[in-house]
């Protein structure tokens, strides 16, 4: 049995909600701001994507299904094959020029890694990485370098 871990991080982006949503909605662009994500590929089913994560010498792949999508508000997913994972990203329009983004993810730590990593140590590493990813996303959007999909 695997150990389930969960993380949540938040960032405020100085950009309108529609722009922030548009950039995030292009899932294939995620490797631009998510350092451990090597690739995201859209599959024939528009609700399915294939993900590859590379970190600390390990490579994991999984297929994820979008389980809930509310335009400009939230996007939820859950893996259907490969690494067990689930999560949600939520968007809150704070003002016409500011948006809060909250990313929550959960995943099963593979049994082969459990003896190598203490939960609290791994939690700290992953929390820092996810926060850094959101900061890169913020910079990408605020610098206008994102390619919004509206």
The predicted structure's pLDDT at residue 146: 67
Give the closest residue to 32 by CA, choosing from 125, 139, 105, 106.
Answer: 139
Residue-wise pLDDT tens digits, 93-137: 999 999 999 999 998 876 766 665 655 666 788 899 999 999 999
Tell how many helices (H) and how many strands (E) occur in the chain.
Answer: 2, 7
List the domain boundaries for the chain.
Answer: 3-142
pLDDT band at 1 (very low <50, low <70, confident <90, very high): low
**What average pLDDT does range 15-24 have in this prediction?**
97
Please state which CATH number belongs to domain 3-142. Answer: 3.30.530.20
Q: Is 3 exposed, middle or buried (0-12, 13-18, 19+ CB in 10 A)?
A: middle
* Contacting residues for 107 by C-beta, under 8 A, at least 6 apart: 4, 5, 83, 84, 85, 86
Mean pLDDT of the chain: 91
Inter-helix orientation angle 119-142/17-25, to 10°: 120
pTM of the model: 0.88
CB 133 within 8 A of CB 34: yes
The predicted structure's pLDDT at residue 113: 64
- Is pLDDT larger for residue 58 or for residue 118? 58
């Amino acid at each position: 049995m695997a150990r389930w871990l969960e993380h949540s991080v938040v960032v405020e982006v100085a950009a309108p909600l529609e722009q922030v949503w548009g950039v995030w909605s292009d899932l294939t662009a995620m490797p631009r701001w998510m350092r451990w994500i090597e690739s995201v590929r859209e599959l024939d089913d528009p609700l399915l994507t294939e993900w590859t994560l590379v970190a600390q010498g390990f490579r994991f792949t999984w297929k994820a299904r979008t389980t809930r999508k509310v335009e400009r508000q939230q996007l939820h997913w859950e893996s259907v094959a490969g690494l067990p994972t689930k999560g949600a990203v939520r968007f809150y329009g704070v003002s016409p020029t500011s948006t809060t983004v909250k990313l929550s993810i959960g995943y099963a730590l593979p049994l082969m890694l459990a003896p190598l990593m203490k939960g609290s140590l791994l939690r700290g590493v992953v929390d820092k990485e996810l926060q850094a990813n959101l900061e890169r996303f913020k910079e990408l959007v605020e610098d206008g370098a994102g390619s919004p999909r509206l």
